[in-house]
């Protein structure tokens, strides 16, 4: 059996996320990096368990949305952080990459995994 154990650890700066430079922003960045890293790692685990790509992607987006609401004062709801999230996902949670990795996954036959 093939198992996928991707472990992503984001370490982006406040400037890279393009969030406001104000008191508490550094803590928001640390928590955002940790939260999005965890969400992506959980999504990879979901894929490994045979969950549909779109459902795993929804999981990432829901987790990010939770951080937006927690840290909205720092501009996380602005387009720049959301665009950065999309850029990160396109690199580390790329549908084509996942499709190639899971093509022969034994659970595909059982669950009808549709990537």
Two tokens at 20?
């406001």
Containing structural domain, residue 81:
14-111
Number of domains into which the chain is organized: 1
Whether residue 18 is contained in a domain is answered as yes
* Chain centroid, CA 18 distance in Å: 18
Whether residue 21 is contained in a domain is answered as yes
Whether residue 22 is contained in a domain is answered as yes
Whether residue 1 is contained in a domain is answered as no
Q: How far apart are CA 53 and CA 61, in angstroms?
A: 12
Whether residue 77 is contained in a domain is answered as yes
Query: One digit per residue, pLDDT tens: the chain, 115 residues?
Result: 556 566 889 999 999 999 889 999 999 999 889 999 999 999 988 888 888 889 999 999 999 888 778 888 888 888 888 899 889 988 888 776 676 666 655 554 444 444 3
Give me the pLDDT at residue 113, please: 41
Give me the pLDDT at residue 16, please: 93
């Amino acid at each position: 059996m093939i198992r996928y154990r991707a472990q992503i650890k984001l370490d982006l700066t406040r400037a890279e996320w393009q969030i406001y430079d104000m008191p508490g922003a550094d803590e928001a960045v640390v928590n955002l990096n940790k939260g999005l890293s965890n969400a992506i790692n959980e999504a990879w685990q979901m894929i490994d368990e045979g969950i549909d790509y779109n459902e795993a992607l929804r999981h990432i987006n829901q987790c990010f949305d939770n951080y937006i609401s927690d840290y909205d004062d720092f501009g996380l709801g602005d387009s720049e952080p959301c665009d950065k999230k999309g850029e990160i996902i396109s690199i580390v949670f790329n549908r084509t990459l996942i499709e190639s990795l899971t093509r022969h996954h034994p659970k595909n036959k059982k669950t009808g995994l549709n990537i």
